[in-house]
C-alpha cells in the first residue's frame, strides 16, 4: 500500500499565513463597524477598504462574507455589500434571547468555573476598570466583551456558547453605542463589579439575576441611542 504523502512544510506555512491574514482583516473590518467608523447601511467600497486595511481584495471579500454570517454586513445581490442596519425591533428580540442565555451561563459558570478561571475574569475586570478610568472606550469595550465571553466559556455548555455567539454578533455595535454616555457608562461598570462579586462567591442565582438585568438595562440604553440617532437624522 503506497504511503500517504505528507504535506510540505511550505504548504502548511502558507495555509497558516492565509488563516492569520483572514483573521486579521476580519478583526480590522469588524472594529470599523462596531466602533461606528462605518455607519449602518454604508456601502462597502472594496478598493477604499483594501487600501485602508493594507490588504488585497481577495481577503477583504472573504472577511465581508464572514461578517455577513455574523449579521454585521448585508450582501446585496449584484450591488456588493453594506453595513447592516440597526433595527430597533431586531434589537428587542435579540436582547431578550441574549439575556436569557447569559443568565443561564452565569448560573452554570458559578458551578463549573475553576478558581483559575475566576481569577482570569477578575483580571480582565481590573483591566476594564483601568480603561474606564482613563475614558478609553474602545479597549474598555474589548475587555467588556472578553468578560462576557469568558463567563460563557466557563459555563461549559457548547450548545449555549454557539447560540450566544450567533446572538451576540447582532448586538456588538449596539452595545458599543449604548456605552457612549458617561452616566450610563458608570452604571454599566457598577453592574459589572456586582457580577464579578457574585461569580467570586459562586452565587449562581444572584449572577443569573444580575446578568439578565444587565442586558435589560443595556437594551434600554440601546433603544434610547437609536431613537436619538433617528431624531438627529430627521433634523
Q: Which has the closest alpha carbon to 128: 193, 207, 58? A: 193
Each residue's pLDDT expressed in tens, for the chain with a length of 235 residues: 555 555 555 554 577 777 778 889 998 998 888 777 898 899 999 999 999 999 999 999 999 999 998 888 999 988 899 999 888 888 898 899 999 999 999 999 999 999 999 999 999 999 999 999 999 888 998 899 999 999 999 999 999 999 998 788 777 777 666 656 678 889 889 999 999 999 999 999 999 999 999 999 888 888 887 887 778 777 7
Q: Rounded to an integer, what distance in angstroms lies between the CA atom of residue 67 and that of residue 172?
A: 12
Q: Which domains does the chain have, with CATH numbers?
A: 9-83 (1.10.10.10), 88-234 (1.20.120.530)
Q: Rounded to an integer, what distance in angstroms lies between the CA atom of residue 170 and that of residue 84?
A: 9
Q: CB neighbours (10 Å) of residue 13?
A: 10
Express each pLDDT in 168-220 by its tens digit: 877 777 766 665 667 888 988 999 999 999 999 999 999 999 999 999 988 88
Q: Rounded to an integer, what distance in angstroms lies between the CA atom of residue 157 and that of residue 128?
A: 26
Q: Which has the closest alpha carbon to 181: 141, 225, 133? A: 225
Amino acid at each position: 500500500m503506497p504511503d500517504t504523502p505528507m504535506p510540505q512544510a511550505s504548504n502548511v506555512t502558507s495555509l497558516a499565513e492565509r488563516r492569520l491574514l483572514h483573521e486579521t482583516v476580519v478583526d480590522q473590518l469588524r472594529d470599523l463597524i462596531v466602533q461606528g467608523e462605518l455607519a449602518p447601511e454604508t456601502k462597502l467600497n472594496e478598493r477604499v477598504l483594501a487600501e485602508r486595511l493594507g490588504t488585497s481584495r481577495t481577503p477583504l471579500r472573504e472577511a465581508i462574507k464572514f461578517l455577513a454570517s455574523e449579521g454585521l454586513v448585508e450582501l446585496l445581490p449584484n450591488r456588493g455589500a453594506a453595513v447592516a442596519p440597526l433595527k430597533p425591533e431586531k434589537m428587542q428580540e435579540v436582547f431578550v434571547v441574549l439575556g436569557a442565555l447569559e443568565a443561564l451561563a452565569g448560573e452554570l459558570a458559578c458551578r463549573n468555573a475553576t478558581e483559575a478561571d475566576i481569577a482570569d475574569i477578575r483580571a480582565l475586570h481590573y483591566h476594564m476598570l483601568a480603561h474606564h478610568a482613563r475614558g478609553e472606550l474602545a479597549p474598555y469595550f474589548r475587555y467588556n466583551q472578553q468578560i462576557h465571553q469568558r463567563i460563557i466559556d466557563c459555563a461549559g455548555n457548547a450548545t449555549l456558547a454557539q447560540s450566544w455567539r450567533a446572538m451576540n454578533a447582532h448586538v456588538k455595535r449596539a452595545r458599543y453605542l449604548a456605552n457612549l454616555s458617561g452616566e450610563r457608562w458608570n452604571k454599566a461598570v457598577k453592574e459589572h463589579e456586582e457580577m464579578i462579586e457574585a461569580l467570586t462567591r459562586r452565587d449562581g442565582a444572584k449572577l443569573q439575576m444580575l446578568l439578565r438585568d444587565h442586558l435589560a438595562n443595556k437594551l434600554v440604553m440601546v433603544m434610547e441611542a437609536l431613537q436619538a440617532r433617528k431624531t438627529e437624522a430627521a433634523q
